[in-house]
Amino acid sequence: MKILEAVNVYKYFPIDIFGRKKIRAVDGISLHVASSETLAIVGESGSGKTTLGRILSGLVKPDKGKILYKGSSFNGFHGKVQMVFQNPDSSLDPSWQTYDIVSEAMNNRRKSLDSVAEVLELVGLNPAYITKYPHELSGGEKQRVAIARAIAAEPEIIILDEPVSALDASIRAQILNLLLDLQEKKGYTYVLIDHDLGRVWHISDRVVVMYAGKVVEEGKTEEVFQDPKHPYTIMLLSASTSNIPKPKINVSIQGELPSLINPPSGCRFRTRCPFAQEKCKVEEPQLYNVSREHEVACYNQF
């Protein structure tokens, strides 16, 4: 069942006061998230994946297109989508104690010391933590409190915006396991925004690869990782140091993300693509199905 859907969404950020120059952060994206699955969105920094996550959460209104929650379009917030942010230092109000942070997410009837302690227990924190201010917590503990706040709101979907990137390597596995446990217990749907392909490989059911504001490949994680169809996906996989399947051909990273103000004509990846043809300059390749659930936007076939 599709629980969350993005239908042809656009988000341009104007960078001059007249609105003539715009950063095309999200440039016509459609995707869906199925109930209780983990959908990963991967791409380089600046590919628009964070903006897409914020559009899915409702924090950013798309310029065009709509977001459907269980099939009906919504505007603003309905409380069923919560978010865990990348930077644990900025995600907790420094003047609030843990009790207040977690209980803020509960409605008044449920707000009590017991229910806050219960949620803290779920994220692996002792009830004694309710007295602590954020500056008294370590990075991993802060992220646990942020997760506690998200689940205290009784959400269905949690958007994880690089939830462990800012943490110490030794803490990352703990937090990821915690998130997986919670999903198993409560059946949450996750949208994981991450650039680390190792984590995406281990956690996600499906993966969306973004490049310069567009989706270039989408499909079951296993299928996309083991049989990547887009040269950009192949490039990302070749470059990863994580323990993931190595692609059949090796495409080394070259060049940088093009300007999102004046993106290249045709295929946006052609400026870095070793397989670019004349056609790629003229016409933009559209997503097509290579198998039932595997889509790619490229003229070449690998």
Partner 1 sequence: MIRKETLLKEMNEHRKTIRVATWKAFKRNKISLLSLIVILSVSALSTVGIVYSPYNPYQPNFSGALMPPSLAHPLGTDWLGRDILSRLIAGGKYTLGLAFVAILIGATIGTFLGLASGYYLGLVGTIIQRVSEIFLILPTLIIAALFAAVLGTGLLSTLLAIAIPTIPVYAKLVHSAALRVRNEDYVEAARLLKKSGPYIMFNHILPNILHVVIVQTTYYMGTGILTVSALGFLGLGVPSPTPEWGTMVGDAKDYIFSYPFVVFIPGILIAVVVVAFNILGDGLREALDPKLRRLL
For partner 1, the binding residues (CB under 8 A) are 57-59, 77-79, 81-83, 85, 87, 90-95, 97, 99, 104-105, 113-114, 117, 127-128, 130-133, 135, 146, 149-150, 153
Q: CB nearer to partner 1: give 49 or 230.
A: 49
Smallest separation (angstroms) from partner 1 to the CB of 133: 7
Nearer to partner 1 among residue 138 and residue 254 (C-beta): 138
Q: Which residues of 58-78 are buried (b: 16+ CB within 10 A; e: fewer)?
A: bebebeebebebeeeeeeeee
Q: Rounded to whole angstroms, how far apart are CA atoms 112 and 220?
A: 41
Min CB(235)–partner 1 separation in Å: 31
Task: Output helix, strand, coil percentages for the chain, rounded to the nearest 5.
Answer: 30, 25, 45
Shortest reach from residue 83's CB to partner 1, in Å: 6
Of 109 and 292, the one with the shorter C-beta distance to partner 1 is: 109
Written as six digits, the tokens of 19 are: 């609105």
Report the C-alpha gap between 10 and 22 in whole angstroms.
12
Instruction: Give the largest CA-CA distance in the chain.
Output: 65
Q: Are 232 and 217 in contact (CB under 8 A)?
A: yes
Cα–Cα dist 282/266, whole Å: 5
Kindly tell me which of 153 and 290 has the beta carbon lying closer to partner 1.
Answer: 153
Closer by beta carbon to partner 1, 85 or else 201: 85
Side-chain-side CA neighbours of 227 within 13 Å: the count stands at 11
Residue of 177, 187, 185 whose CA lies nearest to 140? 177
Residue 87 or 183: the one with the smaller Cβ distance to partner 1 is 87
